[in-house]
Structure 1
Amino acid sequence: MDAEGAEPGMVRPGGRTARVRESVLRAAGDALAEQGFDRLDLADVARRAGVGKTTVYRRWAGTAGLVADLLADMAEQSVPRTDTGSLAEDLRANARLVVRTLADPRQGALFAAVIAAATCDPRTAEALHRFYAVRIAEWSGCVDAAVERGDVPAGTDAGEVIRAVSAPLYYRMLASGDPLDEAAADRAAEAAAVAARAGVYVR
């Protein structure tokens, strides 16, 4: 563990170190999307990033630490939530963002690789859980705002509403192979909004 309990590679650097980190994480994302977690190799990532192998090994120690830092960076760089004043519109924006991400050739392949790795690698699973906790917390604000407006019942579990939007979209990517498009996004958002208004997600 590094300073403040962070995993190797998780301390936020500045200057040249920040540029190295950015290059390495971009290279790691490319490698994951192309080859999957099983073939992720720190030496290959270093070559792709144009940095020395010792730099990568010293900073990240192993592939799990590198993936954890990649997911932390992705959470930081993710698009902020929408605030339209309408729960249905906010959830639709969230669902369409999920679809754009999962349908993107690079990003979709990257997420699929990390999710697959998380099923058998505890550190990757922990990093993935942290990533989604950040994103769910970010988007939960639109549900909390809807509660304050009286659009959905008091006590509505905001995180559960956001999970309900994403779940059918991830199912399409990982299990059914059904189309991932805006129509699917809009149906998922509407179903979650209707259920929330009906009190399904009240704790």
Structure 2
Amino acid sequence: MPAYLARVDAVLVQAVIAAALSFAHLHDIAVAAGQDGWKAWAYPVSVDLLLMAAWRRLRSGTDKRSGWCWFVIALTASLGANVATAGLLDLHAVPAWLRILVAGWPAVAFLGGSLLAHSAPQQTTPEKAPERKPEELNTSAPVPPPTESATPTSPAPSAPPVPSVPAALVHHARQVAADHHARTGAPIDTTTLRARLGIPAQLAEAIAARL
């Protein structure tokens, strides 16, 4: 048998034994207090049902104050019967106050069970935002439309004209570039080409674009 099944079986057996003993003690107290027949057997059922209803209310998380109140009352009735049958009370000469408590228990149990079963749980309702009047909706200041800037924009500078390059100069520049590449292993740059040809920078850039 798996370990968890053994633990569950042990708990169930313990619960059955405890419930049977408590049931018997409550029955004995009811008989000693003058309740005989089916009435004596109904008292343990009433106490256990109230205890279970109070415990359920505590587990639900709503109105725990009421749940704790009736849980303590039912637990006191059950625990009191168990202790009273341990020899502390003469069951053949039950005091009057105990007879009164046993006789009044049905009304107490009925009240507690009704309150636990039918009381509405407390729910928090979200607060509604206050409604605004129509005249309050138009109190905001009008937003002025954006105005165009009066500052005149300066036209973008035009690119300088590309000078015309003679074909012979382009041919010579290619020879210079080939010689540079043969000596250095790298393509010629615009600065070196300008220095080798002795031409302006703008003309050198135009020739380099055609190489």
TM-score over 0.5 (shorter chain): no
Structure number with greater Rg is 2
Q: Which has the higher contact order (CA 8 A, sep 6+)?
A: 1
> Would you tell me which structure has more helix in proportion to its own residues?
1
Q: Which TM-score applies when normalising by structure 2?
A: 0.27
Q: Which TM-score applies when normalising by structure 1?
A: 0.28
